[in-house]
Chain A
Amino acid sequence: MSRRDRFAWAVPLLAGALLAAAIGAGAFALQATLGGPTAAQKLAARAVGRLDAMREARTSLTLDRGRAVPAVCVVVHARDEIQVGRTLRLQIVRAHVRRLSGPAQRPAQLAAIAALSACPRFLANGLNARLRADRATLVGTTRIHGRPDDIFDVSNHSSRPLVQLVMTRKNLVPIEVRFLGHRLTGRGKIIGMSRKTAKKVSLYFLKHKSLIPAATAP
């Protein structure tokens, strides 16, 4: 048996594989006719992933140039719970804000406080909804600590009130939330929170569950 005969079986395998590769290349070319995501969309998708990885946020929020009030948002039983100052306590279920305790607020003010508390999941949901609806997500750039930062629109609607999230361009760390309503504007500066503190806060919320009125208890 000659050397050529010995390898005769390999020829159709090789040729077949090449033919299949050509078909695969054709399939790739066909897929390339689909549009790709923009750089802004890719960045927003990463931002959603970054926000989803966060379990809590601490902010210093200011409404209409008033004095700064500390706020903490943590995820408790799959809901976002917010403590603003010493008295006001809110809960976000999906996109609805509910006052659990503390002084009564106007609906617009309640929405502003909830947005400025920078609950990571709330912001991520807003950004993700805009991505899925193919609406603009990256609306501008700014410089807060001397470094370039990106401004994302996380609002439900295209009109006011607008909720914007500022994240560092380098590491996509959320640093500020802005609320731009018809008559109300505000700003929530996001302060880093250690894991230990976050756990403490979370435990505090769980321990004081009895503060939640019976009608709204899960």
Chain B
Amino acid sequence: MTADLSALPLRESTRVYRSRATAVARAGRREVVAWWFVSRTLVFACALVVQITRFPRRRWHPSLLHHPFALLGVWDGRWYKLIAAGGYLFVPGRYSNPAFFPLLPILERAAHAIGVPYLLTGVVCANLGFLAGLLALYELGSELLPESDARRAALYAAVFPAGYVFSMAYPEGIAFPLVALAGLFAVRDRSLAAAICAAGATLARPEGIFLVLPLAAIAIRRWPSLATSGRSRAVAAVLAAPAALASFSAYLAWQLGDPLAWSKAERAWGRSFAVTGPDRAVVQLLNASHHHDGWLYRDAVSCLLYVGLLMVAYRAGIPRGWVLAGAGIVLMPLASGSFDSDARFGLLALPVFWGLAVLGRHAPVNAIVLIACPVLLAAATVTIQLRYP
């Protein structure tokens, strides 16, 4: 429905615009919620099928009655549960839990205190957090792109193949909304809320530290128009993520006597940050077939895809701060010497979804994404047991 707004007096036309914008936004939110529901139903259904059919490990047969959706608590989910139950413990040279960040275990422990099982808390937090994240992504996207692009970005994120992680007891489900909300609050001039979200995102996943870039860009742009109190809050928003990271190091120093225990624990998984990291990552990729590690190609292809989409987002006018943060999130893991899990890490790079949404302006691309992504999402969920995300 269109209206000739020029015929109306100015105040009247503004009111019509506003009410139309509100109606569009409401419809957009409804659509996002619907796609979240459909995509999560798909993931849960696949998880149930895997549990019933015991695919691919016949020996893995948790009871459906006592451990429903056990598939969503495997791999790192167990590590987070260990932290929630007994805190951090660093075992030099061995796989140990300081490699995992504390926000999810904190939530799991708090819920366990009132009788909610660890796994249930992890899965519920991840799924509800993801819903909040999709809505925040949509709202933030609407501030940076046309509404239709923002809506498509949120829909694509809902069905993104690696997005099955958002239903697992992994911290991505809570880091994703916190990253999007930090950006949204900063754009809407609510710096203190942005600071708290940035700190929360960093406590959930180390990638949260890259929020410094977009938040700093927003603070610099707004600086001349801000009063002293506004400037203080903007500075706090920029520094909140590093402060949260420092608090984690301080906590590890207090508990384990080593502020870098999280980085040292990563070494057991073959990750250590070095200048030669990208070289090692490429060598590992080249030797992947010799070591029967074909799954590594999945992460490498995802990495390439993310970089391409970041470039599309940049050309579509997404602020440089966001694109740089996305590039940091996608490429920084390579400095640790491996492409491993980059498909999962890149999920927190919001401009990836905006880049995909820009490509989706073309109807065939939109159709391909909306058909292929759910299929790949289902396939990825079914193969969780074969390879960690």
Residues of B within 8 A of A41 (CB): 86, 89
State whether B94 touches A31 (Cβ < 8 A): no
- Determine whether the beta carbon of A35 is less than 8 Å from that of B86: yes
Asked whether any CB of chain A lies closer than 8 Å to the CB of B87, the reply is: yes
B244 & A34 in contact (Cβ 8 Å cutoff)? no
Nearest CB on B from A154, distance (A):
14
Q: How far is the CA of A132 from the CA of B89 in the complex (A)?
A: 9
Beyond contacts A30-B102, A45-B96, A48-B91: 20 other A-B pairs, Cβ-Cβ < 8 A, are A11-B232, A12-B234, A15-B229, A16-B231, A16-B233, A16-B239, A17-B236, A20-B239, A20-B243, A24-B243, A24-B246, A26-B199, A27-B247, A35-B109, A37-B89, A37-B256, A41-B89, A48-B93, A49-B93, A134-B82
Which of A11, A31, A49, A131 has the largest number of chain B CB atoms within 10 A?
Answer: A31
Residues of B87-106 contacting chain A, CB below 8 A: 87-94, 96, 102, 105-106
Please measure, in the bound complex, the distance between the C-alpha atom of A173 and the C-alpha atom of B94, giving whole angstroms.
19
Q: Which residue of B lies closest to A30 (CB)?
A: B106
**Would B233 and A19 count as touching, CB distance under 8 A?**
yes
Tell me, in angstroms, the Cα distance from A42 to B102 when the chains sit together.
Answer: 19
B84 and A34 contacting across the interface, CB-CB below 8 Å: yes
| Pick from A8, A33, A37: contact of B109, CB under 8 Å | A33
Contact B248 A31 (CB under 8 A): yes
Query: A27 to B92, Cβ gap below 8 A?
Result: no
**A36: min CB distance to chain B, Å:** 5
Closest to A51 in B: B93
CB-CB under 8 A from A33, the residues of chain B are: 106, 109-110
A20 contact set on B, CB distance < 8 A: 195, 235-236, 238-240, 242-243
- B88, B96, B196, B235 — which one has the most chain A CB atoms within 10 A of its CB? B235
Interface residues on A, range: 35 or more
State the Cβ distance, B80 to closest chain A Cβ, in Å: 11
Interface residues of A in 83-141 (CB under 8 A from B): 128, 131-132, 134
Dominant SS among interface residues on chain A:
helix
> In the complex, which residues of chain A have a beta carbon less than 8 angstroms from the beta carbon of B102?
30-31, 34
B23 within 8 A of A: no
Q: Does B250 contact A (CB under 8 A)?
A: yes
Q: Could you tell me if A37 and B255 are in contact, using CB atoms closer than 8 angstroms?
A: yes
Contact A28 B250 (CB under 8 A): yes
Q: How far is the CA of A8 from the CA of B226 in the complex (A)?
A: 13
Interface residue? B6 (CB, 8 A): no
* CB-CB nearest 6 A-B residue pairs: A16-B235, A24-B243, A12-B231, A20-B239, A19-B236, A15-B232
Residues in B whose Cβ lies below 8 Å from that of A42: 89, 256
Q: Which residues of A contact B239 (CB under 8 A)?
A: 16-17, 20
Kindly state the separation between the CA atoms of A1 and B38 in the bound complex, as whole angstroms: 63
User: How far does the alpha carbon of A46 sit from the alpha carbon of B89 in the complex, in Å?
Assistant: 10
Interface pair B251/A16, CB less than 8 Å apart: no
Q: Does B83 sit within 8 A of A, measured CB to CB?
A: yes
Q: A27-B248, A30-B106, A36-B255 are in contact. Are A16 and B238 (CB under 8 A)?
A: yes
Give the residue of B106, B228, B231, B235 whose beta carbon is less than 8 angstroms from that of A31.
B106
13 contacts between A and B (CB under 8 A): A11-B228, A12-B228, A15-B228, A24-B199, A24-B247, A26-B199, A28-B247, A34-B105, A35-B109, A36-B87, A37-B87, A37-B88, A37-B256
* Cα of A36 to Cα of B105 in the assembled complex, Å: 13
- Report yes or no: B236 in contact with A16, Cβ–Cβ below 8 A: yes
Q: Is the CB of B94 within 8 A of A52?
A: yes
| Contact for B92 among A15, A26, A45, CB less than 8 A | A45
User: Closest residue of chain A to B234, judged by CB?
Assistant: A16
Q: Tell me whether B85 is interfacial, beta carbon within 8 Å.
A: yes
Q: Which residue of B lies closest to A46 (CB)?
A: B92
A97 to B85, CA, bound (A): 33
B373 within 8 A of A: no
A25 lies within 8 A of B247 (CB): yes
Contact with A along B198-236 (1 / 0, CB 8 A): 010001000000000000000000000000110111111
In the assembled complex, the Cα of A8 lies from the Cα of B203 at a distance in Å of 33
B92, A49: Cβ atoms closer than 8 Å: yes
- A128–B94 touching, CB < 8 Å: yes
Which residues in A have their C-beta under 8 angstroms from that of B196? 23
> A131 touching B91 by the CB < 8 A rule?
yes
Q: Which residues of A contact B231 (CB under 8 A)?
A: 12, 16
Q: Which B-chain residue is minimally distant from A12 (CB atoms)?
A: B231
The distance from the CB of A202 to the nearest CB of chain B, in whole angstroms, is: 20
A48 neighbours in B (Cβ, 8 Å): 91-94
- Per the bound structure, the CA–CA distance linking A118 and B301 in Å amounts to 46
Pick from A15, A23, A34, A36: contact of B199, CB below 8 A: A23
The yes or no answer to A13 lying at the interface (CB within 8 A) is yes
**Interface: A78 (CB within 8 A):** no
Inter-subunit contact B86/A52 (CB<8 Å): no
In whole angstroms, what is the CA distance A19 to B99 when docked?
28
Q: What is the minimal beta-carbon distance from B73 to any residue of chain A, in angstroms?
A: 16
User: Which residues on B sit within 8 Å (CB–CB) of A68?
Assistant: none
Query: Contact between B195 and A23 (Cβ–Cβ < 8 Å)?
Result: yes
Complex Cα distance, B8 from A151, in Å, reads 88
Closest to A52 in B: B93
When the two chains form the complex, which single residue of A19, A34, A134 contacts B232, counting CB atoms closer than 8 Å?
Answer: A19
Verify B247–A45 contact, CB threshold 8 A.
no
Instruction: For the complex formed, measure the closest distance between the CB of A48 and the CB atoms of chain B, giving whole angstroms.
Output: 5
Interface string of B102-124 (1 = CB under 8 A from A): 10011001100000000000000
